[in-house]
Chain A
Amino acid sequence: MIKAADSAADLVHGAGGDDHGAARSVVRVRVLRQDVAGGESYWERFEVSYEPNMNVISVLQKIAAQARSQDGRKVAPVAWDCNCLEEVCGSCTMLINGRTRMACSALVDRLQAESGDEIELRPMSKFPVVRDLVVDRRRLFRGLEKVKAWVPVEGSYDLGPGPRISPEEQEDAYPLSECMSCGCCLEACPQYTKVEAVRRDDESEADFEKRRKSAFDTGFVGAHAISQAVLFNAHPTGRMIADERMEALTRQGGIQMCGNAQNCVAVCPKRIPLTRSIARAGRAATVWALKKLFDR
């Protein structure tokens, strides 16, 4: 039976969290800023009030609300990408204290413990900066196109259930399928270097789009896309175009560019076994190349 209740709203969702670290009163941050694409970058320092259990997102929210630098000047709020705030959408990747990670799950207490007083925020370095901490990650999605990261179904009409899949296969596939295209693995990869295409004055949008895509395709496709190719090549229907994926993975920018630094797997926030995927793709590429040789 439900009784009437007072809406004790002040208690509802009051500043949550445990008490450790309550002694600190401010959080200091330095942000590598850039006003426009292709512009000069510069450092700016900020100071916001500390709350227990706060993450880098709450710090940036506070910076947006106060719109003042540490020395009290009125400045434009720092621009950054975010959405879900629970590490599942892949938006808020940035370099925090020099390490690529998600801003939402980067907790201030831990950051201060690892680096002392001031937290450093920088945009990812492998993608063109749009503004401040916002970068253009379209190349990442182009990688998914390139390796045909999808199951090639014949339309969405009702044709009954999908193939039967053993629990082992599902448990193998599921972690790969959790890849949220955050780009951490690309940021950390020595082989993945920045590709920045700028539209020429005399160029149509469509022409520029084309040129940018081919510029993207010359660079390394990266661990995330290789892992997606492995995911779909393991799916009973997905593997029906396995050859097309192998073709893409062995072209320019393909798996041969991997230098086996293994940084990708170390920084993946979802702990996806990326190096295992790369090893599997590497073996498959060898088999495929031999097959191609003998089929000629």
Chain B
Amino acid sequence: MAQPRVLVVGGGLAGLAATMRLAELGVNVDLVSLVPVKRSHSVCAQGGINSVNALTRQQGDSEWKHLDDTVYGGDFLQHQPPVKEMADWGPKIIDLMDRLGVPFNRTSEGFRDQRRFGGTLYKRTAFAGATTGQQLLYALDEQVRRWEVEGKVKKWEFWDFLGPVLDEAGRCCGAVCQDLVTMQFKAFAADAVVLATGGNGLIYGRSTMSMVCTGSAVSRAYQAGACYGNGEFIQVHPTAIPGADKLRLMSESARGEGGRVWVPRKPQDQRDPRSIPEAERSYFLEERYPKYGNLVPRDIATREIFDICTTDGLSVEKDRLCVYLDLTHIPKETLDRKLGGILEIYEKFQGVDPRVTPMKIFPAVHYSMGGLWVDYQKSASGGLLEGSLRNQQTSLPGLYAIGECDYQYHGANRLGANSLLSCIFSGLFVAPTLANVCGASAKAAGDHTRLFDAEIRRHEERHRELLARTAGDENPYTLHQELGNLMTRVATVVRRNDQLTHAYDEVCRMAERWKRCAVSDTGNWTNQNVVFTKALGDMFPIAKLILKGALLRDECRGAHFKPAFSMPGLTATDPEGKRSEAEQWCDAFEANTRKWLKSTIATCGPNGDPEISYQDIDTSLIPPRPRLYGLVGGDAIEEAWKDRAAKAAGQAAGKGQPAGAGA
């Protein structure tokens, strides 16, 4: 019998964590990546990684509160058992990364230092300067290199995943990939395949994501039958640096370390920002959200920045929307020690020193909360059953997904510094599952040689067909720009049904136009042109499911904001009127929860058009409650809601107060 073998696609944090643990469990790993794994997009993560720690614990923090912040911040759209398991694993994951040599910033006593991130009141975030993702990735890269030397891991860098191979029973038994240098095809036989291929920001043209984040691998799995969850939930990060080729991230840690967002009260005040007196500045986040201040969850900060520029007309510049992110009140020495990496990026690309002059920033597409639908098995304690074959398995048996490319952990909005945790967690956690799959399939494995040959031929055919398209009148790069502009306009911060309907039709037309794309390189050696054209073709099915999901979801939840369906705050000022409005508000909230607290599930139909269905969410640990950050009349609503929750708790005989009522 052949040795157990798993194919890991993608070598960012999730893929490397899975690879490391699999090797440790005695499973051989083929690790396929578009780029040398050390250059994966995880390096761009800046701010840090969350977990409960010794200090926050003594301030009343717990794994349960981390779970609560995560699901409240995510507007309750995620199944709670996986999130609970992730929060429970937090402390030991940080300890592990610490042991692997990640140079976390230290306190004067030599313990790990922590800072505060959005959507929480605790300092949960461990960090290594402002390049935490890079440092975590390197630590895992080093361990995987060790296993490579031992012969347990074989890396296939500069290889493109073209699609899973399914046997007669519909089980994934491997994949076909392509060498991006020689353009040769190869089938990888595997007991299980795990996708760890990250987000799909390039569907929006320019974003904070790296150039490999086309979402093509996920799209190919989706087109082969895997379901996609919550596609319409795309995180737009509040603070990025606009650029012609890319929108570079300015980490939330800039605000975590005391950075303040403001605009001049006078529209387009031309004065040097440093000379504008305090009284003539609007620190609008602090004014509107006194409790969280500049550290409200990302969806809210993004909408406020967008709103102050578009509705209130207070953009710092006239021709280009932006607000100030100000660090100049913080000592230079502190800035260099804690934020050096990101300040250098700003300085290098903008030519302005952010230690001296406030930065100009604006929101940008940043993270895909949605992704491949994956399963889990709940444990008796409300978390997950480790090693279950169901954990992280897509709707195609034998095909698994982890990291940003699964839909599981962040609901309608991800909290800052939770992504590094979810990536490493899902990577480590899936390994025993895959090892068990190997054990189970060792008995069942058949000979798939013929199947693989047929699949290779199918992909070769498609490739040849593309290379032969030299006469088309469409340019893949300009078509990509068009797609990006359209998606950015209609499916980011503010969404309207008329625009979404129109955009869907437009994307269908673009998908047709793609068939007329001419390749300008017909060679068979490092042909980046044809690889990009292929990836572009695979963006359309995902763009469609994002638009369709957004169109159908007539509500506001987390990153998905439709003004036509927003629930405004209270207008009454007298206590009685307030109370009665609050009761009505709570009624409407409950009705909306019944209707829309569901995962969006897309399956790929003919022509790459999605079929959308909905799935109930496991909220057994923390009952959903209104997300009230800063809403006018929020106090009254919270009071009314607590009374209801108390009543409901009273009715549930013998049970204690549900944890959901407080915040």
Residues of A within 8 A of B (CB): 1-9, 11-18, 35-37, 51, 53-55, 57-58, 61, 64-65, 67, 74-77, 79, 81-91, 104-105, 107, 130-132, 134, 137, 141, 144-145, 148-153, 155-156, 158-162, 164-167, 169-171, 173-174, 177-178, 180-181, 232, 235, 237-238
Q: Knowing A11-B319, A82-B211 are in contact, say whether A177-B364 is a contact too (CB < 8 A).
A: no
Known contacts being A151-B100, A167-B108, is A55 close to B245, with CB within 8 Å? yes
Which of B21, B146, B300, B310 touches A5 (beta carbons < 8 Å)? B310
Question: Are B41 and A83 in contact, with the CB atoms below 8 A?
Answer: yes
Q: List residues of B (229-285) whose CB comes within 8 Å of A's CBs.
A: 241-249
- Please judge, given known A-B contacts A7-B310, A89-B210, A150-B145, whether A141 and B38 are in contact too, CB under 8 Å: yes
Q: Which residues of A contact B532 (CB under 8 A)?
A: 64
| B444 within 8 Å of A (CB atoms) | no
Measured between alpha carbons, how far is A35 from B527 in the docked complex, in Å? Answer: 10
| B595 interface contact, C-beta 8 A | no
Can you list 23 residue pairs at the A/B interface with Cβ under 8 Å?
A1-B568, A4-B563, A7-B493, A11-B310, A13-B364, A35-B523, A65-B475, A65-B478, A67-B520, A76-B520, A76-B521, A89-B41, A149-B142, A150-B145, A156-B20, A156-B143, A158-B92, A159-B99, A164-B110, A167-B108, A173-B103, A177-B138, A180-B39
Complex formed: what's the CA distance from A177 to B135 in Å?
Answer: 7
Contact partner of B142 among A9, A137, A150, CB < 8 A?
A150
Once bound together, how far apart are the Cα atoms of A1 and B92, in whole Å? 39
Contact across chains for A83 and B494 when beta carbons are under 8 A apart: no
Tell me, in angstroms, the Cα distance from A102 to B143 when the chains sit together: 27
Inside 8 A of B350's CB, which chain A residues have their CB?
17, 53
A4 vs B249: C-alpha distance in the bound complex, in angstroms? 26
Q: Given A18-B351, A89-B210, A105-B349, is A162 in contact with B95 using a C-beta cutoff of 8 Å?
A: yes
CB contacts (< 8 Å) of A57 on chain B: these are 245-246
B499 contact set on A, CB distance < 8 A: 7
Contact B44 A7, beta carbon cutoff 8 Å: no
**Could you tell me if B128 and A174 are in contact, using CB atoms closer than 8 angstroms?**
yes
Q: Which residues of A contact B241 (CB under 8 A)?
A: 16
Complex alpha-carbon distance, A170 and B104, angstroms: 7
Q: Is B458 positioned at the interface, with any CB of A under 8 Å from its CB?
A: no
In the complex, the answer to whether A5 meets B306 with C-beta atoms within 8 Å is: yes
If the complex has contacts A13-B364, A14-B319, A156-B428, are A162 and B101 also in contact, measured as CB distance less than 8 A? yes
Measured CA separation A118–B113 after assembly (Å):
48
Which residues from B are CB-within-8-Å of A64?
Answer: 477, 528-529, 532
Q: How far is the CB of B532 from chain A (nearest CB, A)?
A: 8
Among A1, A91, A149, A232, the residue within 8 A (CB) of B632 is A1
Do B98 and A161 touch across chains, with their CB atoms under 8 A apart?
yes
Write the chain A residue with the least CB distance to B304.
A2
The CA-CA distance from A132 to B551 in the complex, in Å, is 44
Given A105-B348, A166-B110, CB of A58 within 8 Å of CB of B96: no
B382 within 8 A of A: no
- Residues of chain A within 8 A (CB-CB) of B303 are 2, 5
| A158 partner residues in chain B, CB cutoff 8 A | 92, 95-96
Does any Cβ of A come within 8 Å of B341's Cβ? yes
Q: Which residues of A have CB within 8 Å of B98?
A: 161-162
CB-based contact B249/A86 at 8 Å:
yes
A35-B525, A85-B243, A167-B107 given; name 10 further pairs at CB < 8 Å: A5-B493, A7-B490, A7-B496, A13-B242, A64-B532, A77-B520, A77-B528, A85-B246, A145-B149, A156-B21
| B residues with CB within 8 A of A | 20-21, 24, 35-36, 38-41, 43-44, 92, 94-96, 98-101, 103-112, 128-129, 131, 134-135, 138-139, 142-143, 145-146, 148-149, 181, 206, 210-212, 241-249, 288, 300, 303-304, 306-307, 309-311, 315, 319-321, 337, 341, 345, 348-351, 362, 364, 428, 475, 477-478, 485, 488-490, 492-494, 496, 499, 520-523, 525-526, 528-529, 532, 561, 563-564, 566, 568-569, 630-632
B129 / chain A contacts, CB cutoff of 8 Å: 174, 178
Chain B positions within 8 Å of A141 at CB level: 36, 38, 145
Chain A: minimal CB distance from B297 (Å): 12
Q: Closest approach, in angstroms, between the C-beta of B430 and any C-beta of chain A?
A: 13
A74 to B568, CA, bound (A): 57
Given contacts A65-B475, A67-B520, A87-B348, contact A13 B104 (CB under 8 A): no
- Measured CA separation A4–B499 after assembly (Å): 15
Q: Are A89 and B526 in contact (CB under 8 A)?
A: no
Q: Hey, which chain A residues are within 8 Å of B211, CB to CB?
A: 82-85
**In the assembly, what is the distance between CA of A162 and CA of B92, in Å?**
11
Complex contact A36–B525 (CB within 8 A): yes
CB-based contact A13/B99 at 8 Å:
no
Let me know if A83 and B319 touch, CB within 8 A.
no
B246 near A86 with CB under 8 A, answer yes
Are B245 and A77 in contact, with the CB atoms below 8 A?
no
Residues B319 and A174 in contact, CB atoms below 8 Å apart: no
CB distance from B244 to the nearest CB of A (A): 5
Is B307 a contact of A3 with CB atoms below 8 Å?
yes
The answer to whether B310 touches A8, judged by C-beta atoms less than 8 angstroms apart, is yes
Question: Given the complex, which residues of A lie within 8 Å of B41, measured CB to CB?
Answer: 83-84, 89
Q: In the complex, what's the smallest C-beta–C-beta distance from B478 to chain A, in angstroms?
A: 6
